[in-house]
Amino acid sequence: MPGLGTSLGRGGATTAQQDLSNADAILIMGSSMAENHPVGFQWVIEAREKGAKIIHVDPRFTRTSAMADIWVPLRAGSDILFLGALIHYVIENNREFRDYVVNYTNAPMILREDFRDTEDLDGLFSGWDGEKKKYDPESWLYRGSPVKAGDDDNKPGHAESSGGHGKDRGGEAQDAGKYQEDRTLQHPRCVFQVLRRHFSRYTPEIVERFCGVSEDVFLKVAEVFTSASGKEKTGAICYAVGWTQHSKGVQIIRTAAILQLLLGNIGRPGGGILALRGHASIQGSTDIPTLYDILPGYLPMPSSEADSKKLTGYIGKHSSRTGLWSGFEKYFVSLMKAYYGEAATRANDWGFDWLPRITGDHSHFGYWLDMADGQLEGLFVMGQNPAVGASNGRLQRAAMAQLKWLVVRDMVETETASFWYDSPEVKRGELSPYTIGTEVFLFPAAGSAEKAGTFTNTQRLLQYRNQAVDPPGDARSEAWFMYHLGRRLKKKAAQDFRSRNHGLRALTWDYPVHGKHDEPQVEDVLKEINGYAVRDGKQLKHIKDLKEDGSTACGAWIYCGVYPEEKRNRANERHPNDLLGHGWGFAWPNDCRILYNRASARPDGTPWSERKKLVWWDEEKKEWTGLDNADYEKHVPPDRPAKVHDGHGTEALGGARPFTLHPDGVGWIWVPSGLKDGPLPAHYEPLESLIKNPLYAQQDNPAVNKRARSDNRYANSPGDPRYPYILSTYRLTEHHTAGGMTRTLSHLAELQPELFIEVSPEFSSEVGLRHGEYATVTTPRSTIEARVMVTPRMRPLQIDGRVIHQVGLPYHWGYRGQVTGDVVNDLLVISEEPNVRIMETKALLCDVRPGRRPSGAQAIEKPLTKERLT
């Protein structure tokens, strides 16, 4: 996520789950870790047993809350108010780890005179273009930093068409290695003082009025967590999609990063930010991307804009003069050699023109709305079930009826494969199998134990999985399917000499196969991802071995070192020798378990304290050593002076700048470029909210693409009398995502057999709901029914003098499987957060009424409203 990527340099979790046991305080927010990451939660319990305080902030009381010292129920969507108030508390009470902040963050950097904050512009930053609905970030840059120009003098700002996963880490819009600073942190335009003013109104009183958290409880949380700072103590933050799936999700994560940088909790044992991924290999699916806007290793996918017409413009835009991104060219050229082999030469720009170009919004919702409008002919669906697993399921299913063909690969016939004959729309008469022209191909897929390969988990850890049994019948692995599909396409392209096929013909696709079905040898794919010398095929050992002259090939530069020599697959190693798990799997980069760990030592290279030591300078050996592999140049001494103003490469960072992907080598409290909705987080209300923004005239995130249309309607905001309650969705331990794999298993289905809605006793009395009976839930998109669960786990909140009720719905059900239920995702709206285009699922408006929903033709007209119910 760019929330971590722009703040720290990499978008992955900064620490290992095991290291939570070293924390003195743990804040879990946007996650029910005990329910959804129960294996990792053991180290939270271990920390608590050693004296750490556990804080859980969540609208619902969950298993995580039960194991916490403090549970804080808050209004869904008010996270930045709460976290911003913690930042305010840190600054006003001098709780920042001053030595860390001055030396290892950009707090001293001085900003330009033309920057204007949300405090000046009532919720907007300078550079906002109301007509184009976008920011020009030039006024956000450091004072004294030259603005970079691209080809034809185009100023590189925010690419119109690309998403945020491969966005700038500092080299795109400016030469951030050149700046002015005030290390006393007193200059009124230094980042620290701008931050102080920006969060000055994020007070405990505001938290009580608009988050629903009493001032006493907030101050208790603030005291506990901010005390886990300094030389002797550290605190960790754990989050999951409860933060991500908001219209300002990236900026929520940014707020957490700012808090941890102020407290000096990044790169140190017991500190960090643990991004708890929602699936075993979600981290891997962005590293080796299934996302449209990046290439492997977070290299941006070229766009159709001017700076991607030539290789020189593309490299010039995305590389930096200093820091690890100064190696952008060698990462990219090595990837092209892995893709195209001998066909990639300097003369043809290493095959740059063969790469596809981003021409618009190719995210899930972008192409699904195109599909609904008849602009897409065919679709492959693998590893997901969008008919019930994505926002506005009603639109998703209707869109598939516009396709000519649909390929679904799964272990069972999912709702996506069967939409054409048994969807709710068919049962209501809105769609008919006799008129839907979509030809559906269902391919049986192998399960996890039926295939070999790696997955990359929450803590960037690659683990190799050996195949246990052969898949049954015609079931095949994804590797088999894609490999043999690629062979057939290459065979067709060999006879078709149109220019569009040049890249396909050049593509290297020669992996060895084995077994009766010619299964590709996935370990050889991993070798290619690791990288090798082109001349002799020898495996590369380290990122430093990569070259920009075409002599190395590497499928993902960040994974270099996972297969450093023949017959040594480090992802398959299973001999842990310490708490951090070295010897078990391989964590990128360079088997470093805690990122930015140079920050665990003082600028002079000695540990901040004996209790919190991790990596330090060994003067006798002249190298960085310690309890982890150093996330730093191993032999660069701490007293080597930085030359960021006029130097080049990582050498320019000297010996005391831990955040090596940033061109200035420090953590970014302030993000001068790389985000589409501001250099600092600001509180915006959810896109559907009961209340007016308490801080600014700007109600919600101005850069969001709401995708509002007749089949994707919104409630009025602030406040819509038709939808007077807050709805949030979540997961259960017993089911997996949309339930396609778990609703078909009897032993899991019987544990959670039926869709339910969680409501407070006060709410049930007000609305007339009875425990165990049915309730009808309505949004502008759809109407569903669910069993009522009356529970004190949900609590009414006092918000600005009135009582507000929140309800919760798990989203695992659909209309197929051993247990079935209405589709909760039908209630949700399609929206796109501006940086990564993710939807808002954690804070919406709804109506809830006793009784069952209409069915069949009675439900055709439109989603139910209160007027229709009464």
Which pLDDT belongs to residue 13?
Answer: 95
CATH architecture designation of domain 725-869: Beta Barrel (2.40)
- Where is pLDDT greater, at 277 or 465? 465
Q: Which residues lie below 8 Å from residue 322, measured CB to CB, with a gap of 6+?
A: 177, 644, 647, 648, 649, 650, 652, 653, 663, 664, 665
- What token pair was written down for 602? 């003082």
Region 2-10 average pLDDT: 93
pLDDT of 716 over the 60 cut:
yes
Q: Is the peptide bond before 850 cis (omega within 30 degrees of 0)?
A: no
Distance of CA 533 to the CA centre of its chain: 33
Do the beta carbons of residue 850 and residue 768 sit within 8 Å? Answer: yes
Output DSSP code: residue 404: S
Q: Do strands 235-239 and 25-29 pair parallel, antiparallel, or not at all (unpaired)?
A: parallel
Region 641-670 average pLDDT: 95
For residues 109 and 615, what is the distance between their CA atoms, to the nearest angstrom? 27
pLDDT of 158 over the 60 cut:
no
pLDDT of 159 over the 60 cut:
no
For residues 599 and 605, what is the distance between their CA atoms, to the nearest angstrom? 9
CA angle centred on 749, ends 745 and 755, rounded to 5°: 140
pLDDT of 550 over the 60 cut:
yes
Side-chain half-sphere exposure of 280, counting CA atoms within 13 A: 11
Output DSSP code: residue 369: H
Summarised one tens digit per residue, pLDDT across range 777-793 is 999 999 999 999 999 99
Which run of H or E residues covers position 85?
helix 79-92
CA 315, 152, 143, 695 torsion-angle sign? negative
Do the beta carbons of residue 422 and residue 442 sit within 8 Å? Answer: no
b/e burial code for range 721-751 (CB count within 10 A of at least 16 → b):
eebbbbbbbbbbbbbbbbbbbbbbbeebbee
Region 359-366 average pLDDT: 92
Which pLDDT belongs to residue 153?
Answer: 44
For residues 50 and 33, what is the distance between their CA atoms, to the nearest angstrom? 19
For residues 494 and 766, what is the distance between their CA atoms, to the nearest angstrom? 70
pLDDT level of residue 149 (50, 70, 90 thresholds)? low
pLDDT of 157 over the 70 cut:
no
Do the beta carbons of residue 31 and residue 276 sit within 8 Å? Answer: yes
Which pLDDT belongs to residue 311?
Answer: 95
CB atoms within 10 A of CB 533: 14
Which run of H or E residues covers position 197?
helix 191-198
Angle of helix 191-198 versus helix 79-92 axis, rounded to 10? 120
pLDDT level of residue 869 (50, 70, 90 thresholds)? very low
CA dist list (Å): 452 to 227, 448, 558 = 46, 8, 21
Which pLDDT belongs to residue 740?
Answer: 87
3-state secondary structure of 654: coil
- Burial category of 574 from C-beta neighbours within 10 Å (exposed 0-12, middle 13-18, buried 19 and up): exposed
Of the listed ranges 189-203, 407-421, 728-742, the one predicted with least confidence: 728-742
Q: Is the peptide bond before 471 cis (omega within 30 degrees of 0)?
A: no
For residues 782 and 780, what is the distance between their CA atoms, to the nearest angstrom? 6
pLDDT above 90: percentage of residues in the chain: 89
Side-chain half-sphere exposure of 565, counting CA atoms within 13 A: 1
- What token pair was written down for 348? 């043809």
For residues 202 and 378, what is the distance between their CA atoms, to the nearest angstrom? 49
CA dist list (Å): 743 to 422, 442, 447, 813 = 17, 19, 15, 8
For residues 232 and 610, what is the distance between their CA atoms, to the nearest angstrom? 8
- Comparing CA positions, the residue from 494, 74, 447 lying closest to residue 242 is 74
Region 139-160 average pLDDT: 68
pLDDT level of residue 151 (50, 70, 90 thresholds)? very low
What residue ranges do the domains of the chain occupy? 283-358+516-572, 725-869
For residues 42 and 31, what is the distance between their CA atoms, to the nearest angstrom? 15
Q: Which residues lie below 8 Å from residue 363, measured CB to CB, with a gap of 6+?
A: 163, 292, 293, 832, 837
Q: Do strands 552-553 and 586-587 pair parallel, antiparallel, or not at all (unpaired)?
A: unpaired
- Where is pLDDT greater, at 292 or 73? 73
Output DSSP code: residue 524: H
For residues 137 and 173, what is the distance between their CA atoms, to the nearest angstrom? 8
